[in-house]
Amino acid sequence: MNECDILVVGGGPAGISAIRSAKLGADVVLIDDGLKLGGQLIKQTHKFFGSAEQFAGMRGVDIANKLVSELYESGTKVLPGATVLGIYEDGVVNYSKDNVVREIKPKRTIVATGAKEKNLLFENNDLPGVYGAGAVQTLVNVYGIKVGNEVLMIGAGNIGLIVTYQLMQAGIHVQAIIEATDHVGGYDVHARKVKRLGIPIIFKHSIKRVDGYNSVEEAIVVKLDDRFNPIPGTEKKFRVDTVCIAVGLSPLAELLWQAGCEMKYIPELGGYVPVRDEDMRTSREDIFVAGDVAGIEEATSAMLEGTIAGTEAARSLGYPVEDDELEKAKSYLNQLRAGPTGKKIRIGLEKLLGKRHSFETNATIHKPSKSTMPKNKRVPVVECFQEIPCNPCEASCPFDAITIGKDINARPSVDYSKCTGCGICALKCPGLAIFMITEDYSDSESLLEIPYEMLPIPRPGDIADGIDRDGNFVCEVKVLGVIKGKDKTNLVRIIIPKEYADRVRSVRVKEYKNDKIVCRCEDVTEKEIVEAIRRGYTSFDELKRLLRVGMGPCGGKNCREEVLKIIARETGKSVEELEVGTYRPPTKPTPFSAFKNE
Partner 1 sequence: MKEGSFVRIEEHPILTFPKDRRKIEFTFEGKKMVGYEGDTIASALIAQGVKVFSYSHKSKRPRGFFCAVGKCSSCLMMVNGIRNVRTCITPLKDGMDIRRNDEDE
Ligand X SMILES: Cc1cc2nc3c(=O)[nH]c(=O)nc-3n(C[C@H](O)[C@H](O)[C@H](O)COP(=O)(O)OP(=O)(O)OC[C@H]3O[C@@H](n4cnc5c(N)ncnc54)[C@H](O)[C@@H]3O)c2cc1C
Residues that bind partner 1 (CB under 8 A): 33-35, 45, 59, 61, 116-117, 126-132, 134-136, 138-141, 143-149, 169-171, 214-215, 241, 252, 453-455, 457, 488
Tell me the one-letter amino acid at 249: L
Q: Which is nearer to ligand X, 28 or 464 (CB)?
A: 28
Q: How far is CA 43 from CA 138, 156, 245, in A?
A: 6, 19, 17
Question: Applying CB under 6 A, does 397 fall inside the site for ligand SF4?
Answer: yes
Of 253, 309, 434, 477, the one binding ligand SF4 by CB under 6 A: 434
Only segment of 82-90, 132-140, 178-186, 423-431 that touches ligand SF4 (CB under 6 A): 423-431
d(CA 312, CA 22): 12
Cβ atoms of 451 and 429 within 8 Å: the answer is: yes
Question: Applying CB under 6 A, does 189 fall inside the site for ligand SF4?
Answer: yes
Partner whose binding site includes residue 421, from ligand SF4, partner 1, ligand X, none (CB under 5 to 8 Å by kind): ligand SF4
d(CA 123, CA 109): 42
Partner whose binding site includes residue 15, from ligand SF4, partner 1, ligand X, none (CB under 5 to 8 Å by kind): ligand X
Partner whose binding site includes residue 302, from partner 1, ligand SF4, ligand X, none (CB under 5 to 8 Å by kind): ligand X
Q: Which is nearer to ligand SF4, 242 or 489 (CB)?
A: 489
Of 41, 161, 429, 492, the one binding ligand SF4 by CB under 6 A: 429
Q: Which is nearer to ligand SF4, 189 or 477 (CB)?
A: 189
Only segment of 164-172, 344-352, 419-427, 578-586 that touches ligand SF4 (CB under 6 A): 419-427
d(CA 353, CA 227): 31
Closest CA to 240 of 147, 155, 134: 147
Q: Which is nearer to ligand X, 14 or 379 (CB)?
A: 14
Question: Which positions lie near ligand X, rule CB under 6 A?
Answer: 9-15, 31-34, 39-41, 44, 48-50, 83-84, 112-115, 134, 137, 158-159, 162-163, 252, 255, 291-293, 297-300, 302
Cβ atoms < 10 Å from Cβ of 187: 25
For the bound state, the minimum distance from the C-beta of residue 449 to partner 1, rounded and expressed in Å, comes to: 17
Cβ atoms < 10 Å from Cβ of 208: 16
Question: Applying CB under 6 A, does 266 fall inside the site for ligand SF4?
Answer: no
Q: Is the peptide bond before 368 cis (omega within 30 degrees of 0)?
A: no
Cβ atoms < 10 Å from Cβ of 265: 9
Q: The dihedral of CA 585, 588, 592, 593: what is its sign?
A: negative
Partner whose binding site includes residue 425, from partner 1, ligand X, ligand SF4, none (CB under 5 to 8 Å by kind): ligand SF4
- Contact positions with ligand SF4 (CB under 6 A) in 373-392: 380, 382, 384, 390-392
Q: Which is nearer to ligand SF4, 63 or 289 (CB)?
A: 63
DSSP character for 172? -
Per rule CB under 6 A, count of chain residues that contact ligand SF4: 26
DSSP character for 124? T
Question: Applying CB under 6 A, does 339 fall inside the site for ligand SF4?
Answer: no
d(CA 501, CA 496): 7
Question: Applying CB under 6 A, does 433 fall inside the site for ligand SF4?
Answer: yes
Of 293, 393, 524, 563, the one binding ligand SF4 by CB under 6 A: 393
Q: Which is nearer to partner 1, 451 or 556 (CB)?
A: 451
Partner whose binding site includes residue 171, from ligand X, ligand SF4, partner 1, none (CB under 5 to 8 Å by kind): partner 1
d(CA 56, CA 59): 8
Cβ atoms of 384 and 391 within 8 Å: the answer is: no
Question: Applying CB under 6 A, does 424 fall inside the site for ligand SF4?
Answer: yes
For the bound state, the minimum distance from the C-beta of residue 290 to partner 1, rounded and expressed in Å, comes to: 19
d(CA 483, CA 490): 6
The pairing of beta strand 490-497 with beta strand 445-452:
antiparallel
Q: Which is nearer to ligand X, 137 or 311 (CB)?
A: 137
d(CA 363, CA 406): 19
Partner whose binding site includes residue 298, from partner 1, ligand SF4, ligand X, none (CB under 5 to 8 Å by kind): ligand X
Question: Applying CB under 6 A, does 363 fall inside the site for ligand SF4?
Answer: no
For the bound state, the minimum distance from the C-beta of residue 479 to ligand SF4, rounded and expressed in Å, comes to: 21
d(CA 263, CA 250): 13
Only segment of 238-246, 420-428, 568-576, 580-588 that touches ligand SF4 (CB under 6 A): 420-428
The pairing of beta strand 524-525 with beta strand 100-111:
unpaired
Partner whose binding site includes residue 380, from partner 1, ligand X, ligand SF4, none (CB under 5 to 8 Å by kind): ligand SF4
Q: Which is nearer to ligand X, 172 or 436 (CB)?
A: 172
Question: Applying CB under 6 A, does 414 fall inside the site for ligand SF4?
Answer: yes
Q: Is the peptide bond before 456 cis (omega within 30 degrees of 0)?
A: yes
Closest CA to 409 of 591, 120, 187, 155: 187
For the bound state, the minimum distance from the C-beta of residue 504 to partner 1, rounded and expressed in Å, comes to: 20
Collapsing DSSP to helix, strand or coil, 224 comes out as strand
CA angle 122, 123, 124 (to 5 degrees): 115
Cβ atoms < 10 Å from Cβ of 487: 13
322 burial level (CB within 10 Å; 0-12, 13-18, 19+): exposed
Q: Which is nearer to ligand SF4, 274 or 430 (CB)?
A: 430
The pairing of beta strand 242-245 with beta strand 150-154:
parallel
Q: Which residues contact 222 (CB under 8 A, 6 or more apart)?
A: 205, 206, 207, 208, 230, 231, 234, 235, 236
Q: Which is nearer to ligand X, 21 or 113 (CB)?
A: 113
d(CA 219, CA 209): 6
Partner whose binding site includes residue 101, from ligand SF4, ligand X, partner 1, none (CB under 5 to 8 Å by kind): none
For the bound state, the minimum distance from the C-beta of residue 449 to ligand SF4, rounded and expressed in Å, comes to: 10
Q: Which is nearer to partner 1, 39 or 295 (CB)?
A: 39
> Which residues are registered as beta bridge partners of 264?
273
Question: Applying CB under 6 A, does 401 fall inside the site for ligand SF4?
Answer: yes
d(CA 421, CA 379): 5
Cβ atoms of 454 and 164 within 8 Å: the answer is: no
For the bound state, the minimum distance from the C-beta of residue 387 to ligand SF4, rounded and expressed in Å, comes to: 9
For the bound state, the minimum distance from the C-beta of residue 11 to ligand X, rounded and expressed in Å, comes to: 5
**Residue ranges binding ligand SF4 (CB under 6 A):** 189, 380, 382, 384, 390-393, 397, 399, 401-402, 412, 414, 419-425, 429-431, 433-434
